[in-house]
Amino acid sequence: MERTDGIPEQALAWHRAGKGAVLATVVETWGSAPRRVGSQLAISGEGLIEGSVSGGCVEGAVIVEALDALEDGDARELEFGVSDGDAFAVGLACGGTIRVLVEPVGKVMPEGLLTELCAARAAREPVAYVVDLDSGRRTVVRAGYETRFRMDRSGFEEDGRTFVAIHNPPLRLIVVGAVHIAQALVPMARIAGYDPIIVDPRETFGSEARFPGERILNDWPDDAVETLGLDGRTALVLLTHDPKLDDPALEKALASGCFYIGALGSTRTHGKRITRLEAQGFTEEQIGRIHGPIGLDIGAAGPAEIAVSIIAEMTRVLRKGA
pLDDT in tens, the chain (322 residues): 444 468 999 999 999 999 999 999 999 988 766 678 999 999 999 999 999 888 667 888 899 999 999 999 999 999 887 665 554 454 444 567 889 999 999 989 999 999 999 999 999 899 999 999 999 999 999 988 988 988 889 999 999 999 999 999 989 999 999 999 999 999 999 999 899 999 999 999 999 999 999 999 999 999 999 999 999 899 999 999 899 999 999 999 999 989 999 999 999 999 999 999 999 999 999 999 999 999 999 999 999 999 999 999 999 999 888 7
Nearest to residue 79, comparing CAs of 29, 154, 32?
Answer: 29
Nearest to residue 235, comparing CAs of 200, 194, 267, 270?
Answer: 194
* DSSP codes joined into one string, 252-304: HHHTS--SEEEE-S-HHHHHHHHHHHHHTT--HHHHTTEESS-S--S---SHH
Q: CB-side exposure of 26: number of CA atoms within 13 Å?
A: 29
List domains and CATH numbers for the chain: 7-167 (no CATH), 171-320 (3.40.50.720)
**53 in Cβ contact with 98 (< 8 Å):** yes
Angle between helices 111-122 and 7-16 (to 10 degrees): 140
Query: pTM of the predicted model, to two decimals?
Result: 0.76
CA distance 14 to 50: 11
Angle between helices 243-254 and 221-228 (to 10 degrees): 30
| Residue 297 vs residues 259, 261, 287, 308, 309: alpha-carbon distances, Å | 20, 16, 20, 11, 7
CA distance 175 to 180: 12
Q: Is the dihedral of CA 7, 13, 14, 20 positive or negative?
A: positive
**132 in Cβ contact with 156 (< 8 Å):** no
